[in-house]
Chain A
Amino acid sequence: MKFNSRPAVALVSLSLAAVALAGCSEEASGGGNDEAGSSGACKPADVKLVGQVRNESNPYEAAWLDGGDAFAKSVDLSQERLTYDGDSTKQQEQVSQLLAGDTECLVMNILPNGDSDTPPIVEQAQEAGAYLVTQWNKPADLNVADYDHWVSHITYNGVESGKQIGDALSEAIGGSGGIIALQGILDTGAAKDRFAGLEESLAANPDVKLLDEQTANFSRQEALEVTKTLLTKHGDDVKGIWAANDDMALGALEALKQAGKEGEVAVVGIDAVPDALTAIEDGSMTATVSSDGPWQGGIGLAIGYCVATGELSMDDVADEDRAWFAEQFLIEKDNVAEFMTPATDEADFDCDNVFSRSQGAIS
Chain B
Amino acid sequence: MTLTSPAEHVDTVVARPQPRRGVSFRDAGPPIALVVIFLAFSVLSDDFRTFTNVQNIMDTAAVLAVVTCGITFVLMMGSIDLSAPGLIGASAITVALLVANNRNGNDLGLLGVLVAVLVAAALGCLSGLALVLLKVPSFMTTLGVSAVGLGLATLMFNGVQPNITDEMLKSWAIDRLLGFSYLTWIAAACILVGWLVQRYSRLGRYAYAIGGAEEVLSLSGISVKPYKVAVFTMAGAFYGLAGVMVTSQLGAGLVQAGQGLDFKAITAAVVGGTLLTGGRGGVLHSTVGVLLVVVLTNGLVQVGVSPYWQGGVQGLIVVAAVAAAVLPQRRRNQVVK
B259 at interface by CB-CB < 8 Å: yes
Chain B residues with Cβ below 8 Å from A232 are 47, 50, 52-53, 56, 302
Interface size class of A (residues with CB under 8 A): 20 to 34
Chain A residues with Cβ below 8 Å from B252 are 220, 250, 275
B221 at interface by CB-CB < 8 Å: no
Candidate in A66, A186, A213, A225 with the most chain B CB atoms within 10 angstroms: A225
Interface size class of B (residues with CB under 8 A): 35 or more
Q: Mark A233-245, 1 if CB is under 8 A from B, else 0.
A: 1000000000000
A257–B174 CB distance below 8 A: yes
A56–B154 CB distance below 8 A: yes
How far, in angstroms, from A84 to B170 measured CA to CA in the complex?
33
A57–B173 CB distance below 8 A: no
A92 at interface by CB-CB < 8 Å: no
B255–A57 CB distance below 8 A: yes
| Distance to closest chain A CB from B34 (angstroms) | 18
A258 at interface by CB-CB < 8 Å: yes
A194-245 contacts to B (CB < 8 Å): 212-215, 219-221, 224-226, 228-230, 232-233
Identity of the chain B residue whose Cβ is nearest the Cβ of A260 in the assembled complex:
B174
Interface-located stretch among B9-17, B69-77, B156-164, B212-220: B156-164
Which of B50, B181, B250 touches A224 (beta carbons < 8 Å)? Answer: B250
A221–B246 CB distance below 8 A: yes
Identity of the chain A residue whose Cβ is nearest the Cβ of B261 in the assembled complex:
A221
A186–B307 CB distance below 8 A: yes
Chain B residues with Cβ below 8 Å from A258 are 59, 173-174, 181, 249
B56–A62 CB distance below 8 A: no
| Distance to closest chain B CB from A76 (angstroms) | 24
How far, in angstroms, from A63 to B257 measured CA to CA in the complex?
20
B64-92 contacts to A (CB < 8 Å): none
A233–B47 CB distance below 8 A: yes
How far, in angstroms, from A257 to B171 measured CA to CA in the complex?
11
Identity of the chain A residue whose Cβ is nearest the Cβ of B52 in the assembled complex:
A232
Chain B residues with Cβ below 8 Å from A224 are 249-250
How far, in angstroms, from A59 to B157 measured CA to CA in the complex?
10
A220–B47 CB distance below 8 A: no
A177 at interface by CB-CB < 8 Å: no
B161–A214 CB distance below 8 A: no
Chain A residues with Cβ below 8 Å from B174 are 257-258
Which of A56, A251, A275 touches B161 (beta carbons < 8 Å)? Answer: A275
A94 at interface by CB-CB < 8 Å: no
B200 at interface by CB-CB < 8 Å: no
Q: Mark B250-266, 1 if CB is under 8 A from A, else 0.
A: 11101111010000000
Which of A63, A186, A230, A274 touches B308 (beta carbons < 8 Å)? Answer: A186
Chain B residues with Cβ below 8 Å from A221 are 246, 249-250, 254, 257, 259
B154–A57 CB distance below 8 A: yes
B42 at interface by CB-CB < 8 Å: no
B307–A59 CB distance below 8 A: no
Identity of the chain A residue whose Cβ is nearest the Cβ of B299 in the assembled complex:
A229
How far, in angstroms, from A59 to B158 measured CA to CA in the complex?
9
How far, in angstroms, from A214 to B310 measured CA to CA in the complex?
9
How far, in angstroms, from A63 to B160 measured CA to CA in the complex?
10
B119 at interface by CB-CB < 8 Å: no
Chain B residues with Cβ below 8 Å from A271 are none
Candidate in B56, B174, B304 with the most chain A CB atoms within 10 angstroms: B56
A215–B154 CB distance below 8 A: no
| Distance to closest chain B CB from A236 (angstroms) | 12
A230–B301 CB distance below 8 A: yes
A102 at interface by CB-CB < 8 Å: no
B307–A57 CB distance below 8 A: no
Chain B residues with Cβ below 8 Å from A228 are 56, 59-60
B301–A214 CB distance below 8 A: yes
- In addition to A214-B307, A224-B250, A254-B249, 7 A-B residue pairs with Cβ atoms within 8 Å of each other are A59-B159, A221-B249, A225-B60, A229-B298, A229-B302, A232-B52, A232-B56
- Residues of chain B at the chain A interface (Cβ within 8 Å): 47, 50, 52-53, 56, 59-60, 150, 153-154, 157, 159-161, 163, 173-174, 181, 246, 249-252, 254-257, 259, 297-298, 301-302, 304, 307-308, 310
Task: Return 26 A-B CB contacts under 8 Å, by A number.
Answer: A56-B157, A57-B157, A57-B255, A85-B150, A186-B307, A214-B307, A219-B256, A220-B254, A221-B246, A225-B60, A229-B53, A229-B56, A232-B47, A232-B56, A233-B53, A251-B250, A254-B173, A254-B251, A257-B174, A258-B173, A258-B181, A258-B249, A273-B161, A275-B161, A275-B163, A275-B252
- Residues of chain A at the chain B interface (Cβ within 8 Å): 55-57, 59, 62-63, 66, 85, 183, 186, 212-215, 219-221, 224-226, 228-230, 232-233, 250-251, 254, 257-258, 273-275
